[in-house]
Amino acid sequence: MTVLRTFRGGVHPPDHKDQTAGKAIERVALPARVFIPLAQHLGVPCEPVVKVGDEVAEGQLIGDAKAAVSSPVHASIPGIVAAIEEHPHPAAPFPVRAIVIERRNDVAPLAWDGRADWSARSPRDLLAAIRAAGVVGLGGAAFPTHIKLAPPPPAKVDTLIVNGVECEPYLTSDHRLMLERPLEVVEGIRIMLRVLDLRQAYIGIEANKPDAIEVMQRHAADPALWGGASVQVVPLKVKYPQGAEKQLIGAITGRAVPSGGLPFQIGVVVQNVGTAVAICDAVVRGKPLIERVVTVAGSVVKEPRNLAVRIGTPFSQVLECAGGLVATDQPLKVIMGGPMMGLAQHTLAVPVVKGTSGILVLEERQVPKALPCVKCGSCVDICPMGLMPNRLAYFSSRGDFAECEVHHVRDCIECGACTYVCFSRLPIVHLVKYAKASLVKPKKT
Amino acid sequence: MPGNFVVSVSPHLRAPMDTARAMRLVVLSLLPTALASAYRFGPHSVGVMVTAVMACVLTEGWCNRLFGKPLTITDGSAVVTGLLFAFTLPPTTPFWMVAVGGFLAILVVKELFGGLGFNIFNPALAARAILLASWPVALTTWMKPVNSLVSLDAVTTATQLSLLKEAHRAAVAVPQTYGYLDLLLGNVPGSLGETCKITLLAGAVVLLAYKVIDWRIPLSFIGAVALLSLPFGRDPLAAVLSGGVILGACFMATDLVTSPSTRNGKLIFGAGCGLLTSLTRSYGGFPEGVCYSILFMNCLTPLIDKYVQPRTFGARKQEARAS
């Protein structure tokens, strides 16, 4: 019996994946109206390149930015630009400018079944295609992929890790992608290897997905699929947050990302499995990022399932495709993402954006009441970054942000493991976010 | 579709264990020992336990009212303090003394410092220390086990450790009066909750399984006592099974609020307790050192937490630790 690789610390929340792990990804009918925010990625927001009244085709470029760290946005449905206005955004506390497109019912959706040969394309060319398709990290961070795949010199990348861990409870979109579209995963990895000038990649998968491990291992073992490249499947111990980038790198390579640094500084690039599929779609089918798999789950969702949703579809409509909500008199919480790091929403009008891995609707029986810290040390014991969350919470609650910095608050990945185990139900992540925000020096205006 | 949702910062899940549940588990884990004590020492023991718990809970409720704070007695920590305080006392301690001790444990040692989470000293042990200083005779009068739930007999006798201390003063050797089995099963005189090692260990296993306590403090405390017994000329197994080591290592030193919160900090804390216990027993003025060694280490807990910090994942090796 092999000992599975893992990282120091971590917690074991109940995974609730049985709600949707066995449900194949379903396509839904195109929405009548989409709201495409001009900021769906880390970096500079886009500017619209269309105006109100313009007719747009499915996949047409509608927003772009000249800045290096940015990613264009595209029309996810064929239609007419009805408005360019501020609209609620699931990842922002204020409305964000978005392009509203009304569908044209007489235009059929595209099949995107082209097959382009990329074997002669240079890495630079492939990166341009990835950028043009608006591909960003689909694991949740939404960092522009073409930037991540081209680390600045003098960085020397020797390892590519594909993240198939999906450690958040409830979420199963990556799991289903590995089961249903393994050939696209393979091709996406091959393209990434070509861009990075590497021959081998790793793909990390948590041991609670034995079927996905088996499928990927089978494909990894078939040399005909790889054209000289290869991937090693690494099963990992089931523990949250194994899918966090630093913990994944540590478990697979034993390397530690330096404090304040980025993975490329130790020779590693990590990409989500969904991003690999999006890269394949972009390069092989010429399909920009206009759709993504969203796990819709939670005790309040009538029919939890995995859906292929067009970017810009309002959450309310996605939930209708999952049978709507169960009637209950308990207060509800709507979460974009997983329950450990996801963002609670105040309205169902927010659209699905590039980083929307899941939509959960849970009953919030009781907002936990915080008691004073009893110094149990549970948070210290499980912190995957080796911090002292109890001290961070203490200093932050007293406004002593300088002391927070001394205690490495900037190294906190906000995974929520500490808050999950806290005996006193302290809002540690909240206090950490508050401390980090307070440490940001205000820009001179 | 509804429109009003709860919005709070992630995570949106909590582990089932919280302070109140942990306290309930501690009480549960102490019940076998409480029952054993009722059998070994009879109604005296039961009376002390009931008085202690009532004194602590009532005092905390009164303090909450006095200081204008919401009622905290539902978190169970006052019950735990009362029970553990009772465990440190001779079974024949007069009830009024027990009540005074319980009152002081909560008012002075806990509430005046800020309540749960803010006390520096273990309230049960600090109250015992106050009582010992105030009424030394009553607090060092030990009774032979009666092995009956109803007998009110109270024949005074000496504990193994007090015999060892007297022998040390007189520079003579003393034979081991109580065998290992008696020590393990609690058929020996001593504080009402410290004698029955097997029920204490069973309770500790429950708390370890539920992750209410960490194994590091009990291991380093007991380990230190066992190791140091050799150079100090005592039998290791007897040293560990005598007096309050098991009770102290598993239930007192592991008190969440007054012990360090880091892994290595806990090891240092436990080892320090073991060292001081052994030193006190062999060379100090008291026959038993567990109570004072833990109180002393409680003082050092903030210092340990400040200087013994885990290594940040990704920290540069030459980077200075947080000071």
Distances (CA, A) of A258 to A12, A255, B22, B247: 26, 9, 37, 44
List the CATH number of the domain containing B203.
Answer: 1.10.3430
Task: Quickly list H helices, A133-272.
Answer: 145-148, 173-180, 182-196, 210-220, 245-253
Q: In this structure, is residue B51 part of a structural domain?
A: yes
Nearest alpha-carbon partner for A249 in A344, A157, A153, A112: A157
Output A415 or B233, whichever has higher pLDDT. A415
Got the DSSP string for B228-275? HHTTTT--HHHHHHSTTHHHIIIIITT-TTTS-SSHHHHHHHHHHHHH
Contact B19 A374 (CB under 8 A): yes
Partners of A423 on chain B (C-beta within 8 Å) are: 17-19, 22, 256
Distances (CA, A) of A137 to A101, A140, A246, A367: 24, 7, 15, 32
Partners of A388 on chain B (C-beta within 8 Å) are: 261-262, 305, 309-310
Distances (CA, A) of B237 to A125, B190, B232: 74, 17, 13
Contact B263 A346 (CB under 8 A): no
Percent of chain A residues topping a pLDDT of 70: 99
Answer whether B74's CB lies under 8 Å from B94's CB: no
Partners of B214 on chain A (C-beta within 8 Å) are: 377, 381
Partners of B310 on chain A (C-beta within 8 Å) are: 380, 383, 386-388
Handedness of CA A271, A277, A278, A279 (dihedral sign): positive
What per-residue confidence (pLDDT) applies to A205? 97
Go through chain A and tell me how many residues it has.
445
Answer whether B190's CB lies under 8 Å from B252's CB: no
pLDDT at B258 over 70: yes
Show which of A284, A309, A326 is a domain's final residue: A284
B104-111 mean pLDDT: 97
Q: Which residues constitute the domain of residue B177?
A: 19-307
CB within 8 Å of chain A, chain B residues 71-110: 75
**CA distance linking residue B28 with residue B141, whole number of Å:** 29
Q: In this structure, is residue A80 part of a structural domain?
A: no
Buried b (16+ CB within 10 A) or exposed e, B93-118: beeebbbbbbbbbbbbbbbeeebbbe
**CA distance linking residue B25 with residue B122, whole number of Å:** 18
State whether residue B157 is helix, strand or coil.
strand
Q: In this structure, is residue A210 part of a structural domain?
A: yes
Residues 6+ away with beta carbon under 8 Å from A178: A164, A185, A205, A209, A212, A215, A216, A273
Residue A259: which of B257, B309, B312 has the nearest Cβ?
B312
Answer whether A429's CB lies under 8 Å from A435's CB: no
Q: pLDDT tens digits for A422-435? A: 999 999 999 999 99
Partners of A348 on chain B (C-beta within 8 Å) are: 1, 3
Partners of A233 in the beta sheet? A203
Q: In this structure, is residue B1 part of a structural domain?
A: no
What per-residue confidence (pLDDT) applies to B321? 45
List the CATH number of the domain containing A263.
Answer: 3.40.50.11540
Q: In this structure, is residue A22 part of a structural domain?
A: no
Contact B8 A430 (CB under 8 A): yes
**How far apart are the CA of B164 and the nearest CA of chain A, in angstroms?**
36
Contact A371 B19 (CB under 8 A): yes
pLDDT band at A228 (very low <50, low <70, confident <90, very high): confident
Q: pLDDT tens digits for B212-228? A: 999 999 999 999 999 99
Q: In this structure, is residue A297 part of a structural domain?
A: no
- Cα A271 to chain centroid, rounded: 10
Got the DSSP string for A161-187? EEE----SSS--HHHHHHHH-HHHHHH
Give the number of domains in chain B: 1
Q: In this structure, is residue B319 part of a structural domain?
A: no
pLDDT band at B3 (very low <50, low <70, confident <90, very high): low
Is B142 exposed, middle or buried (CB count within 10 Å of its CB: 0-12, 13-18, 19+)?
Answer: buried
Contact B310 A421 (CB under 8 A): no
State whether residue A129 is helix, strand or coil.
helix
Q: In this structure, is residue A42 part of a structural domain?
A: no
Nearest CA in chain A to B311: A386
Partners of B2 on chain A (C-beta within 8 Å) are: 325, 332
Q: In this structure, is residue A67 part of a structural domain?
A: no
Q: In this structure, is residue B317 part of a structural domain?
A: no
Q: How many CB atoms lie within 10 A of CB A412?
A: 23
Contact A424 B19 (CB under 8 A): yes
What per-residue confidence (pLDDT) applies to B234? 87
Residues A132 and A261 placed together within one structural domain of the fold: yes
Residue B262: which of A8, A362, A388 has the nearest Cβ?
A388
Tokens standing for B53? 């718990």
Q: In this structure, is residue B323 part of a structural domain?
A: no
Neighbour order of strands in the sheet with A200-206:
A230-236, A200-206, A159-163, A268-272
pLDDT at A210 over 60: yes
Residue ranges with strand state E in A286-426: 291-297, 305-310, 332-336, 343-345, 358-363
B321 near A CB under 8 A: no
- Looking at residue B234, its amino acid is R
Tokens standing for A32? 């009548």
A104-131 mean pLDDT: 93
Output A336 or B164, whichever has higher pLDDT. A336
Residue A159 has φ and ψ, to the nearest 5°, of: -140, 130
State whether residue A326 is helix, strand or coil.
coil
Show which of A284, A319, A343 is a domain's final residue: A284
Nearest alpha-carbon partner for B300 in B269, B323, B278, B276: B269
Output B315 or B206, whichever has higher pLDDT. B206
**CA distance linking residue A252 with residue A205, whole number of Å:** 11
Contact B1 A340 (CB under 8 A): no
Q: For residue A427, what is the DSSP state? A: -
Residues A159 and A265 placed together within one structural domain of the fold: yes
CA angle A10, A15, A17 (to 5 degrees): 145
Contact B257 A407 (CB under 8 A): no
Q: pLDDT tens digits for B56-75? A: 999 999 999 999 999 999 88
**CA distance linking residue A437 with residue B316, whole number of Å:** 24
Q: How many CB pairs under 8 A join A and B?
A: 176
Contact B1 A342 (CB under 8 A): no
What per-residue confidence (pLDDT) applies to A143? 93
CB within 8 Å of chain A, chain B residues 14-43: 14-15, 17-19, 22
State whether residue B296 is helix, strand or coil.
helix
End-to-end CA distance of chain B: 53
Provide the CB-side half-sphere exposure for A293 (13 A, CA): 26
Q: In this structure, is residue A364 part of a structural domain?
A: no
Tokens 């089995």 -> residue: B181
Q: In this structure, is residue A223 part of a structural domain?
A: yes
Residues A396 and A278 placed together within one structural domain of the fold: no
Contact A377 B257 (CB under 8 A): no
Give the number of domains in chain A: 2
Provide the CB-side half-sphere exposure for B10 (13 A, CA): 21
What per-residue confidence (pLDDT) applies to B2? 63
* Angle between helix A210-220 and A173-180 (nearest 10): 40
Contact A373 B12 (CB under 8 A): no
Residue B1: which of A325, A374, A377 has the nearest Cβ?
A325
Nearest CA in chain B to A417: B11
Show which of A267, A284, A301 is a domain's final residue: A284
pLDDT band at B323 (very low <50, low <70, confident <90, very high): very low
Q: pLDDT tens digits for A175-195? A: 999 999 999 999 999 999 999
Q: Which residues constitute the domain of residue A409?
A: 378-439
Tokens standing for A181? 């579209």
Answer whether B246's CB lies under 8 Å from B118's CB: no
Residues 6+ away with beta carbon under 8 Å from A97: A37, A38, A39, A45, A84, A85, A86, A87
Contact B6 A367 (CB under 8 A): yes
Instruction: Show contacts of B59-66: CB within 8 Å, 24+ apart.
Output: B59/B102, B59/B103, B59/B105, B59/B106, B59/B107, B59/B111, B60/B106, B60/B110, B60/B111, B63/B106, B63/B107, B63/B111, B63/B115
